[in-house]
Structure 1
Amino acid sequence: MDNTFSVYKIDDRSLIAFIKREIHNLALQLGFTPHRAAETDIIIAELTSNLIKYADGGDLLYRAHYNGSHNEIEIYCLDKGIGIENVTKIMNDGYSTSNTLGQGLGAIKRLSNDFQIYSMRGWGTVQYIKICDKADFSVIHSENELNLSAISVNYPGERVCGDGYYIKYSKKGFQIFCGDGLGHGAKANEAVQQAIRAFKQCTENDPASILRYVHEHAKKSRGLVATIACADYTTETWNICGIGNINTRIYNGLDNKTYTPYNGIIGHNIPRTLNNTVVPYQKHQIIIMHSDGLRTRWNLAELTSIIKQSPGIIASALYKDNVRGTDDATILVGKIF
């Protein structure tokens, strides 16, 4: 299954039935029982109708995903409405801020396998929902030191994404690849997928050497930009190297640093000299990497208590505020535990 999210702008009530039917059919294709698909309908209906009633519209992102033992549908619901002042109160079944009867966010939480919400008055709301084919499946969060989530969406109108990411794990640590093929569409997708295949095959341990290896294996492609961040448990260091405009930041609390990549195009022309940036690897850090489909002038400090949230909520909050809508877009957020 593709790891990109489909995006719908929900700005008219007439869209609700169409989107509900599309996700219902997707659920059945994934092997959901008719009863579980009907529960999915309730979730989608509540999310989309709330966007129209309370936020004057918003975005619904969704994808199908196979997670090793089960099929699941992941959904992000994003809006720039007035926000929710008391999330705990509104989570109760049947609660409504209007005079209409509603299932409420409590029903969404009850019917989903994982539900997360972040809201700020005057800013809006982001919600994450995971619906598994088995209603009683308990979501177990990663036991790795890295807890990571990513959102990747196609350029509007394209069937494939020109961005890509991949994470390799080992006993010594992990390596993160985030890349963006030049332009968008099939040729950009081919370039980034060639790079990911090379990244998977490469046995080097430092980002600069890995980028040189990827460069050699991407010469027949359109070309791409990419950054690789490698965490080493033994030396307790990050090694980071990038070519082209992938934005990379590491947060320690609210203190952060952006790591500047080299100029060049992987597969065409890269600098003769590539050096890794070496920084301490510490618990509770947050690493954020994204393509130029998102604006770079953002600051987590502007979002109250956002660093306490899950990587998926952080990624969706930054996506909501900064997606350009004129290119493929990918944002990857990892928290170190």
Structure 2
Amino acid sequence: MDNTFSSCKIDDRSLIAFIKREIHNLALQIGFTPHRAAETDIIVAELTSNLIKFPGRGELLYRSHQTDGKNEIEIYCLDNGAGIDNVFKIMSDGYSTSNTLGQGLGAIKRLSNDFQIYSMKGWGTVQYVKIRDHADYQIPPPGPGLNFSALSVNYPGERVCGDGYFIKHSPKGFQILVGDGLGHGSNANEAVQLAIKAFQQSKATEITVILRGIHEAVKKSRGLVATIAAVDYTTETWNICGIGNINTRIYNGLDNKTYTPYNGILGHNIPRTLNSTTVPYQKHQIIIMHSDGLRTRWNLNDLVSIIKQKPSLIASSLLKDNIRGTDDATVLVGKIN
């Protein structure tokens, strides 16, 4: 298991059986019972058949993962179709727009442990599904502090991702690292994994010191760009510092600001002087960090009520609209509760 999502473009009905088999086998590998794997099949079949039936094409992102010692499968379903007028209405079992039984989204919600959907007319739809090994497990509501979701996808054709992220928590706060190894493939992956290891092992609290430690740790690798955003609960501040082109933006309601990193490459050349930017830490903020696998000219205010949605829907909406397809891509979205 890792943080990377596999991707499958669904543009033909023949692919439905293939992706069902892939995710079914994945479910069995991580310990799902045959019955729970069969319920997962139903979810995947509904998601993919709806892609063919309505927009005609779309994309499924999926991975196995472990949270709090529980095995789970996460699935994102993205499309650029006509969108849905009334999401609440079509969530009801028995509602149909195509003379079928009308059990699609209702079945997905009933069989999954978490189901979220966001749609806008003329824009398309994003859906998020979390399937635990026990159907009756209740996902607890997010507690105070950081509630986040992240999506990492490989450059097309690569088996590993050159992007990565890690979050460290302590009683005094938390630190977020997002990194992007130069290029893509195994060498980029090696660089970002070395950076994550150095980040995990660092005892420093000053993020500029941590970045210098990462710089030393990755000198024998291809190198990477990275940003650290850290929160101190005592001072109620963010401290943000980055080297290279990781995009970092914080929303306070409809207002937002982008924090510019230093020029350079960790492992090769970094500025002699590094200073972090201090920002007030407040409830209801949204922090977004992403690699250059996504375009930077986006604005959440263009998507109706998206800031009210959970991080998973914000992250997948940004990925859907802005992925370049020419590199690995990572987007991390955190909301402060």
- CA distance in 2 between counterparts of 1:84 and 1:39 reads 25
Tell me the distance in 2 between the aligned counterparts of 1:214 and 1:269. 12
Structure 1 residue 99, shift from structure 2 partner: 2.0
SS at match of 1:5: strand
Tell me the residue number matched to 1:204.
204
What do the CA deviations read for 1:85-128 (whole angstroms, capped 9, x no partner)?
01111001132211233422011000000000011111111000
Q: What do residues 258-302 of structure 1 show as CA deviations (whole Å, max 9, x unaligned)?
A: 000000000010000111111111111000000000000000000
Alignment of structure 1 residues 242-281 onto 2, 5 Å: 242-281=242-281
1:41 aligns with 2:41: yes
Q: Where does the alignment leave 5 or more consecutive residues of structure 2 unmatched?
A: none
| Aligned residue in 2 for 1:170 | 170
CA–CA distance in structure 1, aligned partners of residues 230 and 107 of structure 2: 41
3-state DSSP class of the match of 2:122?
coil
Query: In the alignment, residue 92 of structure 1 is paired with which amino acid?
Result: S
Partner of residue 315, structure 1: 315
State how far apart, in whole Å, the 1-side matches of 2:323 and 2:28 are.
31
The amino acid across from 1:205 in the alignment is T
Matches for 1:19-58 after TM superposition, within 5 Å: 19-58=19-58
- Offset, 1:69: 2.6
SS of 1:83's partner is: coil
Q: Residue type matched to 1:108 in 2? A: I
Is the partner of 2:148 in helix, strand or coil? strand
> Residue deviations 1:231-278, cap 9 Å, x none?
111111111000000000000001000000000000010000111111
Take 1:67 and 1:236, find their aligned partners in 2: how far apart are those partners?
A: 28
Instruction: Give the whole-Å Cα distance in 2 for the aligned partners of 1:21 and 1:94.
Output: 27
User: In the TM superposition, what is the alpha-carbon distance from 1:144 to its structure 2 partner?
Assistant: 4.5
Bigger Cα displacement from structure 2, 136-145 vs 38-47:
136-145
Unpaired segments ≥5 residues, structure 1:
none
Deviations 1:153-201 (A, max 9, x none): 1111111100000000011110000000000000000000000000011
Residue pairs, 1:54-133, within 5 angstroms: 54-133=54-133
- How far apart, CA to CA, are the structure 1 residues paired with 2:9 and 2:103? 22
Partner of 2:294: 294
**CA distance in structure 1 between the partners assigned to 2:215 and 2:333 by the alignment:** 25
Does the residue aligned with 1:241 lie in a helix, a strand or coil? Answer: strand
Which residue number in structure 2 is paired with residue 159 of structure 1? 159
Q: Distance in 2 between matches of 1:217 and 1:142?
A: 35
Q: Deviations over 1:116-144 (max 9, x none)?
A: 00111111110000011111111124424
Match of 2:60, as an amino acid? Answer: L
Matched residue, 1:324: 324
Secondary structure in 1 matching 2:234:
coil
Secondary structure of 1:55's aligned partner: coil
1:229 equivalent in alignment to 2:229: yes
What letter corresponds to residue 36 of structure 2 in structure 1? R
Size of the aligned set, in residue pairs, is 337
Q: Which residue of 2 aligns with 1:193?
A: 193
% identical aligned pairs: 78
- Supply the distance in 2 between the matched residues of 1:142 and 1:101 (Cα, whole angstroms): 35
Equivalents in 1 of 2:29, 2:201: separation in Å? 33
Match for 2:107: what amino acid?
A: A
State the distance in 1 between where 2:208 and 2:34 align: 51
1:283 aligns with 2:290: no
Code of the aligned partner of 1:310: K
* Aligned partner of residue 193 in structure 1, secondary structure: helix
Q: TM-score, normalised by structure 1?
A: 0.98
Match of 2:15 in 1: 15
SS of the residue corresponding to residue 143 of structure 1 reads coil
With the length of structure 2 as denominator, give the TM-score of the two structures. 0.98
Distance 1:204 1:29 in 2: 39
RMSD: 0.9
Letter in 1 for 2:259: Y
Please give the alpha-carbon distance, in whole angstroms, between the structure 2 residues aligned to 1:242 and 1:105: 41
**Distance in 2 separating the partners of 1:266 and 1:179:** 10
Q: Deviations over 1:54-77 (max 9, x none)?
A: 112111000001123321100000
Aligned equivalents of 2:29 and 2:94: distance in 1? 31
- Quote the Cα distance in structure 2 between the aligned partners of 1:27 and 1:88: 29
Measure, in 1, the Cα distance between the counterparts of 2:63 and 2:144: 24
Deviation at 1:209, TM superposition (A): 1.3
Offset of 1:207 from its aligned partner? 1.7
Moved more, 28-37 or 285-294: 28-37
